[in-house]
Chains A and B, each alone.
Chain A
Amino acid sequence: AQTVTQSQPEMSVQEAETVTLSCTYDTSESNYYLFWYKQPPSRQMILVIRQEAYKQQNATENRFSVNFQKAAKSFSLKISDSQLGDTAMYFCAFMRPGTASKLTFGTGTRLQVTL
């Protein structure tokens, strides 16, 4: 079974600074998908970014980018120019194709952006 580990329960960053959230996973598969979801206090789960394992290029979405290290099974999220609205829980998730699209989530990292 796949496991997803987020070793940072809480992090804090000042507005306009850069922060990196860590995620590692365990799988024997060669093809899979990785995701970062954001859950603000409103509790809505919002897709931040996705990465396909067979693509070597790291995904980017505006201020959000990932550092995908397939051999190390690492998938970190970098948030640049942090904004107060980035304050939320961030969940890393894994999906293996052919498993009825089931997502396996990490335990989450609570990010606080301060003035």
Chain B
Amino acid sequence: SAVISQKPSRDICQRGTSLTIQCQVDSQVTMMFWYRQQPGQSLTLIATANQGSEATYESGFVIDKFPISRPNLTFSTLTVSNMSPEDSSIYLCSVLTSGSTDTQYFGPGTRLTVL
């Protein structure tokens, strides 16, 4: 499995501001994903980050609110824009590696609190 890091690990933000979360992998991966986990809830897929092209968003998530970049095969960012308290969640990235095309491995997550 790959070693995945996320920055920041946690943050407290004011409503109306934006936060960019970084996901870095120690090796090239085939696919990268972003999930949201609201307090006490399960994980919900936000989007698939595509290298060199626009992300593929799930129903209920839009690019204007959650812009995603993936400039290369080891790095992706998720921005949470114009935040409100309802955006308070854990945000996790996950990856598929070329050696494991059917099992996702997760980063440590970013805990976001919006006041």
Q: Using a CB–CB distance below 8 Å, which chain A residues touch chain B?
A: 33, 35, 37, 42-47, 50, 52, 91, 95, 97, 100-103, 105-108
B43 pairs with A105, CB closer than 8 A:
yes
Pairwise interchain contact A42-B108, C-beta atoms closer than 8 A? yes
The distance in angstroms between the C-alpha atoms of A100 and B56, with both chains bound, is: 10
A43 B108 Cβ-Cβ under 8 A? yes
- Interface status of B111 (Cβ within 8 A of chain A): yes
Tell me the smallest distance from the CB of B89 to a CB of chain A, in Å. 11
- Tell me the residues in window 18-61 of chain B with beta carbons closer than 8 Å to chain A beta carbons: 31, 33, 41-43, 45, 48, 56
The answer for the CA separation of A95 and B92 in the assembled complex, in Å, is 18
Are A101 and B104 also in contact (CB < 8 A) when A43-B90, A43-B111 are? yes
Size range of the chain B interface in the assembly? 20 to 34
Q: A45-B92, A47-B103 are in contact. Are A101 and B108 (CB under 8 A)?
A: no
Chain B residues with CB under 8 Å of A102's CB are 45, 48
Q: How far is it, in angstroms, between the C-alpha of A1 and the C-alpha of B104 when the chains are bound?
A: 20
Give the distance to chain B from A30, nearest Cβ to Cβ, in Å.
16
Cross-chain contact B42 with A91 (CB below 8 angstroms):
yes
Among A37, A44, A105, A106, point to the contact of B109 (Cβ < 8 A).
A44
Q: How far, in Å, is A113 (CB) from chain B's closest CB?
A: 20
**Subset of 26 A-B contacts with CB under 8 Å:** A33-B103, A35-B103, A43-B90, A43-B109, A43-B111, A44-B107, A44-B108, A44-B109, A45-B43, A45-B94, A46-B106, A47-B103, A50-B102, A91-B42, A100-B48, A100-B56, A101-B33, A101-B96, A102-B45, A102-B48, A103-B45, A105-B42, A105-B43, A106-B42, A107-B41, A107-B42
